[in-house]
Copies of this chain bind each other. A is one copy, B any other.
C-alpha cells in the first residue's frame, strides 16, 4: 500500500493535523516540527492522496477541455498551450473532441461535470445551441475559447477578431485587383464562421464591390466540404477570380481541387486562407493566409480560468472578454 498521512505522523512523532499543515502551509507550524515532518516526508517518499484531499476540499485540481476536433492543428495548438499553463499551476487537464457534434459535446459536458472538474475551457460546437449549463449551473467556471456562445453571459472568453481578419484578406485581394471574390464559409452556427462572413461582406462593400450571394458557399470547416465546394465553384462557367477560404481544413480540400483541375495559382484562381500550418508555406505556390495566434488563445484562456479558480469565489468578478488580433501573411497564392 501507498503511504498515508498517518505513517508520516507516526514517523515524525506528530499528529496528522500537523503533517497536513506543513504540507499545505495552511497554518503556522513550529520550525522544529516542520523539519521533522519534512524529513519524514522526504525520506519515506510520501505523496498525499489526491482523492482524499479532493473529497474534503471539494476540488479536484483537474480542468476539462472540449474542442471540436483535437486532430485539427488549430485546436491542437490551443490545447497544447492551455495544458502547458495548467500543468505549471499544478492542474491536470483532460481533453475531449466534440467532433462539432452537439450530442457528443453534451456528453462530454456531462462527463466533465460528473468528474467534478474545477473548471472547463471549451470551444463550443454551436453558438446558440451548445449547452454548458450542467457546468455553469454547478458553479464550475467556464472559459470560452476561440468561439462565442451567445447565451453564456457569465463566461469569460478569448477569441480572435476574425471579422477583421477576413476584412484584411478581402482588402488585400481587392488591392491586387480582383473583383469577383468568392467565399467558402464555415458553418454559420459557429461564431467564427459568422464573423468571417461578416468581415468578408463588409470589406467588399468598403471597396465598392458588390456582395453576390451566389459567390458565398456554405461549408462546414471540414476538408471534405472544401473539396465539394471547391469543385462546385471552380467548375462554374463564371468562376470567380479569387476565393477566401474560412479555415485550414477546407483549404486543404480546396487546394486538392485546384490541383485536380490543373489550375495555375494565382493566375487562374487566387485564394487566401485562414490559419497557418506546416504545409501552407510548403505547397506551390505557398498560401496567403490570415494567421491566428492559436497558442495565445489557449494560454490566455487557461490563465483566465485559473484566475477564477484561484480567485475569491464568493465575489466573482465581471466576465472578461479578450479579443486577439490576427495577422495577414501574404504569400504566392494571391
Q: Which residue of B has the minimal Cβ distance to A138?
A: B2
Is A256 in contact with chain B by the CB < 8 A criterion? yes
Is A47 in contact with chain B by the CB < 8 A criterion? yes
Which positions 37-95 of chain A face chain B at CB distance < 8 Å? 47-52, 54-55, 60, 62, 70-71, 73, 76-77, 79-80, 83, 87, 92-95
Q: Known contacts A80-B71, A95-B95; is A111 also within 8 Å of B138 by CB?
A: no
Is A202 in contact with chain B by the CB < 8 A criterion? no
Residues of B within 8 A of A283 (CB): 279, 282-284
| Interface size, A (range) | 35 or more
Task: Report the bound CA distance from A70 to B113 in whole Å.
Answer: 25
Is A23 in contact with chain B by the CB < 8 A criterion? no
Is A331 in contact with chain B by the CB < 8 A criterion? no
Q: Which residue of B has the minimal Cβ distance to A281?
A: B256
Residues of B within 8 A of A27 (CB): none
Task: Report the bound CA distance from A49 to B282 in whole Å.
Answer: 50
Contact across chains for A51 and B116 when beta carbons are under 8 A apart: yes
Contact across chains for B116 and A49 when beta carbons are under 8 A apart: yes
The smallest C-beta distance from A127 to any residue of chain B, in angstroms, reads 25
The smallest C-beta distance from A84 to any residue of chain B, in angstroms, reads 8
Q: Which residues of A contact B (CB under 8 A)?
A: 2, 47-52, 54-55, 60, 62, 70-71, 73, 76-77, 79-80, 83, 87, 92-97, 108, 111, 113-116, 138, 223, 252, 255-256, 259, 277-279, 281-284
Instruction: For the A-B complex with A2-B138, A76-B76 known, give 5 more contacts whose Cβ atoms are closer than 8 Å.
Output: A55-B55, A87-B108, A94-B95, A277-B278, A283-B283
24 A–B pairs (Cβ distance < 8 Å), ordered by A: A49-B55, A50-B114, A50-B115, A51-B51, A51-B54, A52-B55, A55-B55, A71-B80, A73-B73, A83-B96, A87-B96, A87-B108, A93-B94, A93-B95, A94-B94, A95-B95, A252-B278, A252-B282, A256-B281, A256-B282, A277-B278, A277-B279, A279-B282, A283-B283
